[in-house]
Amino acid sequence: MTASVVRTLGASSAHLFDTLPDPLGFHETHRLTRHRPDWKRVALRDGRVVARAAWWGGPKDTRPLLIDWFDVAEGEEEAGADLLRTAPWPAAELEIDVPAARRGTPAVRAAVATRAEAARRAGYAPLVERFLYRWTPDRGLPARPGRLVFRTEADDGVFFDALRRIHSVTLDAHARRAVALGGADRAAQEGLDFLRWLPSPRAWWQVARTPGGATAGIHIPAHNPSGPCVAFIGVLPEHRGHGYAYDLLAECTHFLAERGAPAIGGATDQGNFPMAAHFAEAGYPVVRERLVYAVTPG
């Protein structure tokens, strides 16, 4: 077998990216995603594309943030691994989206296994599996329980403190990793940096308080580069057990719908059973599942 050759694409070679089969439906998944042509790479063997990957970042980012498209032909795990490990832009995470309705089919299982093995050889390990949701107006607006009072808050310190307290006891895998690496302050800072990165107005961020004035949680209606989304829902530990995350999600949905959102995206870790139940109750169907891999230390 001849050795594979890795190429970073440009305007004249961009067409090569579309010559590999698409068993996981990435073309549909990323129909609203803009990938820079020069952040795409392919591995070729005897002139045929056997693996491809697209690195992604926001419109203002000068370096990619993650890999969100990774396809590997059957039996070409080493070529896929070489494609990742020789990239000029190290990416801490790799995402593989799977059609929720087809997750259990043999073809999808085999495709995921091939990509997972290539990722492992390149130094990535599973971090978390997530549910991806999409609310549309035909689902109807979720009922507002009316138990909390929602207000905007200009002080970032209020949100930092809330994030620190929320992440101190959490089911979220990314926050738990940040806490393990640098404590609750690091997790809060990472969360705040992400929220600031979003292109939607800072004035949309809201704090939820009980009628007595105690801060119960925060919710962040937002736009990411692909459209309206529920950027963050969090309840402070001392106010958990009352189902307030549903109240926050309902308010977030109303907020975006009132501003003309044609659809609203959302996500939660599959192990976060309470939040997954709240998304279902609020009329958010699962549209995809996301497998997240992170670079292993060393």
pLDDT computed for residue 205 by the predictor = 98
Mean pLDDT in residue range 166-178: 97
Mean pLDDT of the chain: 96
CB atoms within 10 A of CB 155: 9
Q: For 138-288, give the CATH class.
A: alpha beta
Where residue 178 falls among pLDDT bands split at 50, 70, 90? Answer: very high
Q: In terms of C-beta density within 10 A (0-12 exposed, 13-18 middle, 19 or more buried), how is residue 194 classed?
A: middle
> Above 60 in pLDDT, residue 223?
yes
231 with 221: CB under 8 angstroms?
A: yes
Mean pLDDT in residue range 78-104: 92
User: Going by CATH, does the domain composed of 5-122 fall within 3.40.630?
Assistant: yes
3 state DSSP class of 252: helix
Mean pLDDT in residue range 120-124: 97
> Above 70 in pLDDT, residue 298?
no
Alpha carbons 76 and 221: distance in angstroms, whole number: 41
Mean pLDDT in residue range 81-96: 93
Choose among 222, 247, 253: nearest CA to 139.
253
Q: Is 220 left (phi over 0), alpha (psi -120 to 50) or beta?
A: beta
> Above 90 in pLDDT, residue 243?
yes
- Which two structure tokens, joined as six digits, stand for 252? 């977030």
Choose among 8, 85, 5: nearest CA to 48.
5
Task: Tell me the percentage of the chain whose pLDDT exceeds 90.
Answer: 92
pLDDT computed for residue 92 by the predictor = 84
- β-pairing verdict for 286-295 and 124-135: antiparallel
166 with 234: CB under 8 angstroms?
A: yes
pLDDT computed for residue 58 by the predictor = 92
Instruction: Choose the weakest-confidence range: 6-20, 136-150, 230-244.
Output: 6-20
Amino acid at the residue 39:
W
Q: In terms of C-beta density within 10 A (0-12 exposed, 13-18 middle, 19 or more buried), how is residue 203 classed?
A: exposed
Domain boundaries, the chain: 5-122, 138-288
Mean pLDDT in residue range 39-60: 96
pLDDT computed for residue 104 by the predictor = 85
Digit-coded pLDDT (tens) for 194-211 = 999 999 999 999 999 999
Mean pLDDT in residue range 232-238: 98
Identical fold for domains 5-122 and 138-288, yes or no, is yes
Mean pLDDT in residue range 175-179: 97
Where residue 297 falls among pLDDT bands split at 50, 70, 90? Answer: low
pLDDT computed for residue 233 by the predictor = 98
pLDDT computed for residue 31 by the predictor = 87
pLDDT computed for residue 101 by the predictor = 81
Where residue 91 falls among pLDDT bands split at 50, 70, 90? Answer: confident
